[in-house]
Amino acid sequence: MKFIRNILNSRSDKDGNFFIAMSKTLGFKPSNLQFYQKAFTHRSMNIRDKIGNPINYERLEFLGDAMLGAVVALHLFKEVPKGNEGYLTKMRSKIVSREHLNELGKELNLINFIESKIPQNSFGDNVHGNLFEALVGAIFLDKGYNQCEKFIFKTVIIPHVDIELLEGKVISYKSLLIEWCQKEKKTFYYEVYEDTGNDYQKHFSVKLSINDKVVAKARATSKKKAEEKASKRAYFVFQKRIDRTQ
């Protein structure tokens, strides 16, 4: 109930502190603080509005993702006039990749604003990117497209978008390795060979075999992450041969 009162009472001490902190993060003063409060409300708070709609950041996350994609797409369209659709799509994916958005969220320390019944150390890395997207969605609703575009340029495009560097950046080592194996007619498979359920946080161990020979192993908190990590290690084993085919 206390959090609901804070949303409704913009003069509360908590709102005042949040307003100051948010202004520093954004570089401008919010007009409607409720958008930003929702951007940092986790579903575990189980808050609903008067007509029963959930109050959390998930819908803002969807909106922010669309705004990021649109602003980045327009920037690439202008900056790379010779780039075809496939090239532009790949470059946009690199800029707004989950990994990159997670890094942006961490840079802004957005996790410190979250309202949740779940301890911060229990969240995975993706929460940082989710909050960043939700924040972009809140800015769009509060200030409109122009201010949203300025924020994306300030936090994403100006400090992080270098076309030449991005051209050589790998989004997914697993996808790159599978593509190479298929092109070279090599067999490959990933196998979970250990699942340590006794750890505080569950881990998976994966080994990657190419032409029936184990070429890399990795361990991570999910099967997907372990496969990506193993693929990255395998890439560096075959890097010269893979790069010749690109």
Cβ 205 vs Cβ 194: under 8 Å: yes
65 flagged as catalytic: yes
Catalytic residue among 15, 65, 115, 227: 65
What does the alpha-carbon distance between residue 130 and residue 132 come to, in Å, rounded to a whole number? Answer: 5
Catalytic residue among 61, 115, 133, 149: 133
DSSP string, the chain: -HHHHHHH-TTSHHHHHHHHHHHHHHTS--S-HHHHHHHTB-GGG--B-TTS-B-SSHHHHHHHHHHHHHHHHHHHHHH-TT--HHHHHHHHHHHT-HHHHHHHHHHTTGGGG-B-SS-GGGS-THHHHHHHHHHHHHHHHHH-HHHHHHHHIIIIIHHH--HHHHHT--S-HHHHHHHHHHHTT--EEEEEEEEETTSSS-EEEEEEEETTEEEEEEEESSHHHHHHHHHHHHHHHHHHHHHHH-
Cβ 117 vs Cβ 41: under 8 Å: no
Total Cβ atoms within 10 A of residue 35: 19
133 flagged as catalytic: yes
Which amino acids are annotated catalytic?
65, 133
